[in-house]
Amino acid sequence: MPDIVIYTKSLCSYCIRAKKLLADKGVAFEEIVIDGDQHRRAEMIVRSGGRRTAPQIFIDQNPIGGCDELLALERAGCLDSLLFDH
């Protein structure tokens, strides 16, 4: 299984949707909640190449983007290969 990290905000509907998709796929992920944590938020921005919105998703250290990008990978049939072909 790949290493999956998702930076989230607790009341963010996009974050909830992205976590649900990953959970439905049965993959484990590390969630880093950035609410009120400026250090973790800054870390997310640096890791994502300047993106400031949550969620930000990383698979094996590679930035995937947010919920829209994750869902686009799923629709294109590419997400499973990122999650399971290891």
pTM of the predicted model as reported, rounded to 2 decimal places = 0.95
pLDDT one-digit tens code per residue, 14-28: 999 999 999 999 999
- Whole-number average pLDDT of the chain: 96
For residue 86, is pLDDT > 90? no
For residue 69, is pLDDT > 80? yes
Query: Percentage of the chain with pLDDT > 70?
Result: 99
Radius of gyration over alpha carbons of the chain, in Å?
Answer: 12
- Find the helix packing angle between 13-25 and 67-75, rounded to 10°: 40
